[in-house]
Homo-oligomer: A and B are copies of this chain.
Amino acid sequence: MRAVDLIRKKREGHALAREEVQFFVEAVVDGTLPDYQIAAWLMAVMWRGMDPQETAWLTDAMARSGERLDWSMLPGPTVDKHSTGGVGDKTSLALAPIVAACGAFVPMMSGRGLGHTGGTLDKLEAIPGLRTMLPVEAFRAIVAQVGCAIVGQTDRMVPADRRLYALRDVTATVESLGLITASIMSKKIAEGVSALVLDVKSGRGAFMKTDQAAGELAAALVQAGRAAGVRTQAVVSRMETPIGRAVGNALEVAEAIVLLRGEGPHDLRTLVEALAVRMTRLAGLAASDEEALRLVTRAVASGEALERLRRMIQAQGGDPRVVDDPGRLPSASHRHALRAVKTGFVTAIDAERCGLAALHLGAGRTRMDDAIDAGVGLEILSPVGTAVSTGDAVILLHHRDGRGLDEALALVQQAVVVAEAASPPHPLILSIVS
A348 within 8 A of B: no
Give the distance in Å from the alpha carbon of A39 to the alpha carbon of B169 in the complex. 14
Given the complex, which residues of B lie within 8 Å of A287, measured CB to CB?
Answer: none
Give the docked Cα–Cα distance between A11 and B40 (Å).
12
- Provide the bound-state CA to CA distance between A123 and B42, in Å: 40
Q: When the two chains form the complex, which single residue of B7, B47, B167 contacts A171, counting CB atoms closer than 8 Å?
A: B7
Q: How many A residues, CB 8 Å from partner?
A: 24
List the B side residues contacting A4 at CB < 8 Å.
169-172
Q: Is A414 an interface residue when CB atoms closer than 8 A count as contact?
A: no
CA distance A222 to B46 in the complex (A): 32
Q: Is the interface of A mostly helix, strand, loop or mixed?
A: helix
Residue of B nearest to A171 (CB): B40
The CA-CA distance from A207 to B68 in the complex, in Å, is 48
A391-410 with Cβ < 8 A to chain B: none
* CA gap between A171 and B35 in the complex, in Å: 10
Copies in the complex: 2
**Contact A40-B173, Cβ < 8 Å, known A34-B35, A35-B34, A35-B35:** yes
In the bound complex, do residue B172 and residue A36 qualify as a contact, i.e. CB atoms below 8 Å apart? Answer: no
CA distance A47 to B12 in the complex (A): 10
A209 to chain B, nearest CB (A): 15
> When chains A and B are docked, how far (Å) is the Cα of A7 from the Cα of B174?
12
Contact partners of A40 in chain B: CB under 8 A? 39-40, 42-43, 171-173
Nearest CB of chain B from residue A419's CB, rounded to whole Å: 34
Instruction: Say whether A38 faces chain B, with CB atoms less than 8 Å apart.
Output: yes
A302 contacts chain B at the CB level, 8 A cutoff: no
* 10 additional A-B residue pairs with CB within 8 Å, beyond A3-B170, A44-B47: A4-B169, A7-B172, A11-B172, A36-B38, A36-B171, A37-B170, A39-B171, A43-B47, A46-B47, A47-B47
The 9 closest A-B CB pairs, nearest first, are: A43-B43, A40-B171, A8-B172, A36-B39, A35-B36, A39-B39, A7-B172, A47-B47, A39-B40
* A binding-site residues for B, Cβ under 8 Å: 3-5, 7-8, 11, 34-40, 42-44, 46-47, 167, 169-173
List, sorted by A's number, 17 A–B pairs whose CB atoms are closer than 8 Å.
A4-B169, A8-B172, A11-B173, A35-B39, A36-B36, A36-B38, A36-B39, A36-B170, A37-B39, A39-B39, A39-B171, A40-B40, A40-B172, A40-B173, A43-B43, A43-B44, A47-B47
